Amino acid sequence: MPVKKAIDGATTVHDGILKAISLQRLAPGTRLPEENLARIFAVGRGPVRSALARLKQRGLVRMEPNRSAEIATYSVAEVHGLFDMRRWIEPEVAADVTPILTSSQLTHLKSHLDDEQAARDAGDRIEATRLSGLFHTELARCSPNMIARRYISELVDQSFLAIYLYQRVGVFMCVNEDHLDLVAALESGDPDRARRSMREHLDHILERLDLSEKGEDHEDLEQAFAGVIDAPSS
């Protein structure tokens, strides 16, 4: 397979799995056999291996010798560790971007909040959760700190899996007022206010999780990727 085609194939698999995770289509613990993914995405097994290796680096896939890769699952302690990291990094990023945020960036963030609210008004809990998580990624993109942007993107993706495992039935994970308060803090130009608003918001997300041990709930791969990718599944 030509190098460019292999890279494109790996990106297609990588991005398809990421999107399925954000849409709660892939339960933690779901096995990801290479041959199945190759067929579903219409690529070779080489690109599949490359995609799975990248996802392993992001903490989203776990791989052991002589076993199929599987979607990562997190213990209660790991979820607390995940949010400890978010509380350490994201408030500082919010404070750092506050004095340098442009009007176009603020407009973009407000537009994202409108999309969140539309999903919430439509009763689409999964889409509202996905957009709420991506709001944090969009805010991080306003930072010139490339390392912080990368870490926040990975932490948000991992949070999708934590939410899948521990969300309370029928509960919207992000309260829109939290994001509105955060945008208002950013718009105020007060870094301390933005830092405090982000920290309180992350605390609220953690509080809305039911951190009791949960059993594994595996998904059918064909159903998980239906509508996520354009490639034929047979």
Q: Strands across the sheet with 31-32, in order?
A: 31-32, 69-71, 61-62
92 CB neighbour count, 10 Å cutoff: 18
Selected residue with higher pLDDT from 165 and 169: 165
Residue ranges, comma separated, of all CATH 1.10.10.10 domains in the chain are 3-73+217-225
Structure token digits, residue 6:
């292999």
* pLDDT at residue 234 in the model: 38
Q: To which residue do tokens 């953690």 refer? A: 206
β-strands 31-32, 61-62 pairing:
unpaired
Task: State yes or no: pLDDT of 190 exceeds 70.
Answer: yes
> Which CATH number is associated with domain 3-73+217-225?
1.10.10.10
* DSSP one-letter string for 44-63: -HHHHHHHHHHHHHTTSEE-
Residue ranges, comma separated, of all CATH 1.20.120.530 domains in the chain are 76-207
The number of residues making up the chain comes to: 234
* pLDDT at residue 211 in the model: 87
User: Helix (H, G, I), strand (E, B), or coil: what is residue 145?
Assistant: coil
Q: Which of 229, 224, 233 is nearest to 30 (CA)?
A: 224
196 CB neighbour count, 10 Å cutoff: 17
- The pTM assigned to this predicted structure is 0.84
pLDDT digits (tens, 9 = 90+) for 40-63: 999 999 999 999 999 999 999 999
Q: Work out the pLDDT band at 214, boundaries 50, 70, 90.
A: low
The listed CATH number (3.40.50.720, 2.40.10.10, 2.40.50.140, 1.20.120.530) that belongs to domain 76-207: 1.20.120.530
